[in-house]
Amino acid sequence: MEYALALLVLAALVAAFVTVPLRRDEVAADAAAADRRAELEAAKEAKYREIRDAELDFRMGKVSEADHRATDRELRAQAIEILERLDALEPEVAAGRPSGGDR
Protein backbone atom coordinates (compact mmCIF):
# COMPACT_ATOMS: atom_id res chain seq x y z
CA MET A 1 0.00 0.00 0.00
CA GLU A 2 2.77 2.39 1.02
CA TYR A 3 4.69 1.39 -2.11
CA ALA A 4 1.68 1.97 -4.39
CA LEU A 5 1.03 5.36 -2.82
CA ALA A 6 4.68 6.40 -3.14
CA LEU A 7 4.66 5.21 -6.74
CA LEU A 8 1.60 7.27 -7.58
CA VAL A 9 2.79 10.44 -5.87
CA LEU A 10 6.28 10.25 -7.39
CA ALA A 11 4.96 9.42 -10.85
CA ALA A 12 2.55 12.37 -10.68
CA LEU A 13 5.31 14.76 -9.56
CA VAL A 14 7.69 13.57 -12.27
CA ALA A 15 4.98 13.72 -14.94
CA ALA A 16 4.12 17.28 -13.92
CA PHE A 17 7.78 18.28 -14.11
CA VAL A 18 8.82 16.61 -17.35
CA THR A 19 5.78 17.90 -19.24
CA VAL A 20 6.51 21.55 -18.39
CA PRO A 21 8.23 22.09 -21.80
CA LEU A 22 5.35 20.32 -23.57
CA ARG A 23 2.85 22.78 -22.13
CA ARG A 24 4.74 25.73 -23.59
CA ASP A 25 4.29 27.13 -27.07
CA GLU A 26 6.65 25.73 -29.66
CA VAL A 27 9.33 28.37 -30.13
CA ALA A 28 11.48 26.55 -32.58
CA ALA A 29 12.58 29.43 -34.79
CA ASP A 30 14.03 31.83 -32.25
CA ALA A 31 15.27 28.99 -30.04
CA ALA A 32 17.15 27.54 -32.97
CA ALA A 33 18.70 30.93 -33.71
CA ALA A 34 19.71 31.33 -30.06
CA ASP A 35 21.22 27.86 -30.11
CA ARG A 36 23.19 28.62 -33.25
CA ARG A 37 24.41 31.81 -31.65
CA ALA A 38 25.57 29.95 -28.53
CA GLU A 39 27.39 27.41 -30.67
CA LEU A 40 29.11 30.13 -32.67
CA GLU A 41 30.06 31.96 -29.48
CA ALA A 42 31.69 28.75 -28.24
CA ALA A 43 33.45 28.28 -31.57
CA LYS A 44 34.61 31.91 -31.44
CA GLU A 45 36.06 31.50 -27.96
CA ALA A 46 37.83 28.32 -29.05
CA LYS A 47 39.28 30.08 -32.09
CA TYR A 48 40.43 33.03 -29.98
CA ARG A 49 42.13 30.57 -27.65
CA GLU A 50 43.91 28.99 -30.61
CA ILE A 51 45.11 32.40 -31.81
CA ARG A 52 46.39 33.31 -28.35
CA ASP A 53 48.09 29.90 -28.03
CA ALA A 54 49.80 30.38 -31.38
CA GLU A 55 50.91 33.89 -30.37
CA LEU A 56 52.34 32.61 -27.09
CA ASP A 57 54.14 29.77 -28.87
CA PHE A 58 55.70 32.28 -31.24
CA ARG A 59 56.74 34.65 -28.44
CA MET A 60 58.34 31.72 -26.65
CA GLY A 61 60.36 30.84 -29.75
CA LYS A 62 58.66 27.55 -30.51
CA VAL A 63 57.81 28.41 -34.12
CA SER A 64 59.54 30.44 -36.79
CA GLU A 65 58.13 33.83 -37.79
CA ALA A 66 57.13 32.57 -41.23
CA ASP A 67 55.26 29.58 -39.82
CA HIS A 68 53.59 31.76 -37.21
CA ARG A 69 52.42 34.28 -39.79
CA ALA A 70 50.89 31.53 -41.91
CA THR A 71 49.15 29.94 -38.94
CA ASP A 72 47.96 33.26 -37.55
CA ARG A 73 46.56 34.34 -40.93
CA GLU A 74 44.67 31.07 -41.26
CA LEU A 75 43.28 31.22 -37.72
CA ARG A 76 42.22 34.87 -38.02
CA ALA A 77 40.44 34.13 -41.29
CA GLN A 78 38.54 31.35 -39.56
CA ALA A 79 37.72 33.67 -36.64
CA ILE A 80 36.43 36.36 -38.99
CA GLU A 81 34.24 33.80 -40.72
CA ILE A 82 32.72 32.92 -37.33
CA LEU A 83 32.19 36.60 -36.53
CA GLU A 84 30.44 37.10 -39.89
CA ARG A 85 28.15 34.18 -39.17
CA LEU A 86 27.45 35.63 -35.74
CA ASP A 87 26.53 39.00 -37.22
CA ALA A 88 24.30 37.29 -39.76
CA LEU A 89 22.39 35.80 -36.87
CA GLU A 90 21.77 39.14 -35.12
CA PRO A 91 18.59 40.15 -36.99
CA GLU A 92 17.21 36.63 -36.64
CA VAL A 93 17.69 36.64 -32.86
CA ALA A 94 16.47 40.19 -32.50
CA ALA A 95 13.27 39.34 -34.39
CA GLY A 96 12.48 36.41 -32.14
CA ARG A 97 11.55 36.47 -28.49
CA PRO A 98 14.32 36.66 -25.95
CA SER A 99 15.66 33.21 -25.28
CA GLY A 100 15.48 32.43 -21.57
CA GLY A 101 17.28 29.70 -19.71
CA ASP A 102 15.33 26.46 -19.63
CA ARG A 103 12.51 26.95 -22.03
Q: Which residues bind another protein (CB under 8 A)?
A: 2-3, 6-7, 10-11, 14, 17-22, 24, 26-28, 31-32, 34-36, 38-39, 41-46, 48-57, 59-64, 67, 71, 76, 79-80, 83-84, 86-87, 99, 101-103
Measured CA to CA, the distance from residue 61 to residue 82 in angstroms comes to: 29
- Choice between 46 and 95, CB closer to another protein: 46
Question: Strands, E, within the chain: which ranges?
Answer: none
Question: Residue 98 CB, nearest distance to another protein (Å)?
Answer: 13
Q: Which of 102, 83, 95, 76 is nearest to 33 (CA)?
A: 95
**Least distance (Å) between residue 31 CB and another protein:** 6
Report residue 65 CA to chain centroid gap.
Answer: 34
